[in-house]
């Protein structure tokens, strides 16, 4: 290709920028970033590079070549990084060196799998490391409709523009500064074999880690004090469930931005970005480009402003999921593991002193020993059986117990109970919202709940209720009472016998786990049972239950007639 002559204009002072080159005749780099800043570094005939008859320094030539596939001509490239950005050219250079080997590796491993699609970035693209840190990466992946089988990515962040990262899935398995950059830092002469050696080292790391099972993230620290009870754990994402929710959301609108998807699902964008990429690569979503400046996404990072539309194939997939699985919409469900972590301290024995108990029970006429019995029951989170004649304050006493349980707790809007099934938990009629709601909007901070039933109680109320329209379950009484008090009032007045009620509750009381039947699928799931059980009755205990059952109730409190 003939190199065009330099256009007339004032010649910048100085010599060629290339190390040890003293040539004074040449061209200024024509690179201009998104803000209008120009490079203007000076390069001689041997070291300047021309793209579409336009001169660029070697680094910015790498930038232009990397971004060229995103536009028809180099003059239409919009998102040019800053003049002094070194992350993009390094990411593009290293990724190009391993591109053929990684592409062939993925192809060979999955070429006989008809259910697997292979995807490869044509060039580097802008992404985000953490919440606000820009990064440039190029990826290769094998995926099925429910998510990645393997994803390999080379990434360089703007915070560490000389550090190459290798990611398998979302895990960084290799980080290193390339040899030629280290040499330059230390003032050593260049070694032209460094680039080839680094490419081989990077590919060796890929071979070493690509088939390894991904390590689980370190366990989230369980809150250790009551002050922490209202803080939910970090989100755990069920990819298949989130993919279905995103497709369902896209099916009810003509276009939706990444920001809107994150807001609807109450998840940080970094949690859903890989899912959007998977759905786009599988041709379930069509990326339409950046949304207009007008909208709630105004001022958000570029990936959040990307607009998506459901493809014909995506609509078919969405309908398949809706027929076979849940149609839940709303904040993303939390996992059972997250739920257990959030409620862990709520179930721990307390350290109430008698003064707090006396204050909470003020105004109720109590016989000697009642205050101490209530204190012991609450401190041990054990069941309490209150009996006595009508009008003696049994129900009033039981309803005061939530005041003694401690600080507010967090309750999920919905639970992912596995198998693609969802259970809604938060109930505005039971859960009283507190101030300072958590930043994670999948949860609500509430006062300790009180769930009270009386003569209307039926044993089926301990089962999750199936809602055909949304294909979700509604949480039963004991789940809504978790972290608080489950009060069965007027025991013995229900259609079901007290023995049947206790038979249903004895295992959850002893094991702190309820084995819950899901009627639509026939599955049985383990859900935490961390509610304090309170029973009250006007009848004599011996008329309700035999001695063996009464022994299972930890604390029995007689409310005598007032004196």
DSSP assignment, residue 188?
P
Beta carbons within 8 Å of 298's beta carbon, 6+ residues apart: none
- Rounded CA-CA distance 243/251 in Å is 12
Beta carbons within 8 Å of 196's beta carbon, 6+ residues apart: 97
Q: For position 221, what pLDDT does the model report?
A: 39
Q: For position 82, what pLDDT does the model report?
A: 87
State CA 75 to chain mean position distance: 39
The one-digit pLDDT tens for each residue of the chain (563 residues) are 333 333 333 345 568 988 778 888 889 999 998 888 899 899 999 999 999 899 999 889 988 888 887 677 888 777 788 888 889 989 999 999 999 999 988 888 887 777 777 888 888 877 766 545 778 888 888 876 545 678 899 999 988 999 999 998 778 899 999 998 998 888 888 788 899 999 999 999 998 887 544 443 333 333 333 334 556 666 777 888 999 999 999 998 888 999 999 999 999 998 899 999 999 988 999 988 888 767 777 778 888 888 999 999 999 999 988 888 889 989 999 999 889 888 886 666 667 888 888 888 888 888 888 888 888 888 888 899 999 888 888 999 999 999 998 889 999 999 999 888 999 999 999 999 998 899 899 999 999 999 999 999 999 999 999 999 899 999 999 999 999 999 999 999 999 999 999 999 988 988 889 999 999 888 899 999 999 999 999 998 888 988 888 888 888 988 887 65
What CATH number was assigned to the domain covering residues 239-332? 1.10.10.10
On whether the CB atoms of residues 13 and 28 are closer than 8 A, the answer is: no
On whether the CB atoms of residues 425 and 431 are closer than 8 A, the answer is: no
Helical residues (DSSP H) of 345-440, grouped into ranges: 354-360, 370-380, 394-400
Q: For position 135, what pLDDT does the model report?
A: 83
Cα dihedral sign, 66-71-77-81: negative
Q: For position 428, what pLDDT does the model report?
A: 92
129-135: which pairs have CB atoms within 8 A and are 24 or more residues apart? 129/155, 129/157, 129/159, 130/270, 131/268, 131/270, 132/301, 133/157, 133/158, 133/159, 134/87, 134/158, 134/301, 135/87
For 339-559, CATH number out of 3.40.50.300, 3.30.1280.10, 2.40.50.140, 3.40.640.10 equals 3.40.50.300
SS3 559: strand
On whether the CB atoms of residues 304 and 134 are closer than 8 A, the answer is: no
Q: Answer left, alpha or beta for residue 358, where phi above 0 means left and psi between -120 and 50 means alpha.
A: alpha
Which among 95, 55, 96 has a CA at the least distance from the CA of 74?
55
**For the chain, what is the radius of gyration of the CA atoms?**
32
Residues of the chain within CATH 1.10.10.10 domain(s) are 239-332
Phi and psi angles of residue 462, each rounded to the nearest 5 degrees, phi first = -85, 0
DSSP assignment, residue 38?
B
DSSP assignment, residue 63?
H
Residues of the chain within CATH 3.40.50.300 domain(s) are 339-559
Burial 427-450 (b: 16+ CB within 10 A, else e): beebbeeeeeeeebebbbbbbbbb
- Rounded CA-CA distance 321/246 in Å is 11
On whether the CB atoms of residues 389 and 537 are closer than 8 A, the answer is: no
Pairing type for strands 54-56 and 49-51 reads antiparallel
Q: For position 120, what pLDDT does the model report?
A: 83
Two tokens, residue 557: 């409190």
Two tokens, residue 30: 């024509």
Q: For position 293, what pLDDT does the model report?
A: 66
- Rounded CA-CA distance 453/498 in Å is 13
């Amino acid at each position: 290709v003939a190199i065009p002559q330099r256009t007339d204009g004032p010649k910048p002072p100085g010599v060629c920028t290339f190390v040890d080159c003293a040539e004074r005749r040449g061209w200024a780099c024509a690179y201009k970033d998104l803000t209008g800043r120009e490079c203007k570094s000076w390069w001689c005939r041997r070291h300047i590079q021309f793209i579409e008859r336009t001169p660029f320094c070697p680094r910015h030539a790498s930038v232009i070549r990397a971004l060229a596939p995103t536009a028809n001509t180099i003059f239409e490239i919009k998102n040019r990084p800053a003049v002094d950005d070194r992350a993009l050219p390094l990411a593009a250079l290293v990724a190009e060196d391993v591109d053929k080997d990684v592409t062939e590796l993925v192809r060979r491993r999955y070429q006989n799998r008809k259910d697997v699609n292979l995807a490869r970035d044509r060039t580097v693209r802008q992404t985000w490391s953490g919440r606000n840190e820009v990064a440039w990466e190029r990826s290769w992946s094998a995926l099925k409709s429910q998510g990645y089988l393997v994803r390999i990515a080379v990434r360089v962040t703007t915070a560490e523009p000389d550090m190459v990262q290798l990611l398998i899935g979302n895990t960084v398995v290799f980080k290193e500064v390339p040899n030629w950059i280290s040499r330059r830092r230390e003032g050593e002469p260049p070694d032209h074999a460094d680039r080839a050696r680094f490419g081989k080292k990077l590919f060796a790391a890929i071979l070493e880690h690509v088939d390894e099972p991904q390590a689980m993230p370190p366990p989230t620290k369980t809150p250790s004090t009551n002050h922490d009870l209202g803080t939910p754990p970090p989100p755990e994402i069920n990819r298949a469930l989130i993919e279905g929710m995103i497709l369902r959301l896209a099916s009810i609108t003509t276009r939706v931005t990444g920001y809107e998807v994150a807001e609807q699902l109450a998840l940080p964008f970094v949690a859903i970005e890989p899912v959007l990429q998977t759905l786009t690569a599988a041709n379930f979503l069509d990326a339409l480009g950046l949304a207009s400046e007008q909208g709630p996404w105004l001022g958000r990072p570029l990936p959040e402003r990307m607009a998506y539309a459901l493809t014909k194939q995506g609509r078919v997939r969405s309908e398949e999921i809706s027929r076979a699985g849940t149609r839940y919409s709303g904040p993303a469900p939390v996992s059972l593991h997250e739920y257990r972590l959030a409620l862990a301290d709520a179930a721990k024995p307390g350290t109430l002193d008698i003064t707090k108990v006396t204050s909470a029970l003020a105004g109720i006429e109590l016989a000697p020993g009642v205050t101490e019995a209530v204190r012991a029951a609450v401190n041990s989170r054990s069941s309490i059986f209150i009996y006595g004649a009508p009008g003696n304050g049994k129900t009033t006493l039981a309803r005061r117990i939530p005041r003694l349980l401690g600080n507010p707790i967090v309750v999920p809007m919905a639970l992912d109970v596995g198998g693609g099934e969802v259970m809604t938990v938060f109930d505005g009629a039971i859960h009283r919202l507190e101030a300072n709601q958590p930043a994670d909007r999948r949860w609500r901070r509430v006062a300790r709940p009180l769930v009270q039933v009386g003569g209307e109680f039926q044993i089926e109320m301990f089962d999750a209720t199936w809602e055909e329209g949304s294909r979700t379950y509604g949480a039963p009484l004991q789940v809504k009472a978790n972290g608080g008090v489950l009060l069965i009032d007027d025991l013995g007045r229900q259609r079901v016998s007290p023995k049947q009620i206790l038979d249903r509750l004895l295992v959850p009381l002893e094991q702190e786990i309820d084995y819950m039947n899901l009627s639509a699928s026939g599955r049985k799931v383990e859900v935490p049972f961390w509610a304090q059980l309170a029973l009250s009755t006007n009848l004599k205990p011996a008329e309700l239950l035999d001695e063996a059952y009464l022994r299972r109730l930890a604390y029995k409190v007689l409310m005598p007639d007032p004196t």
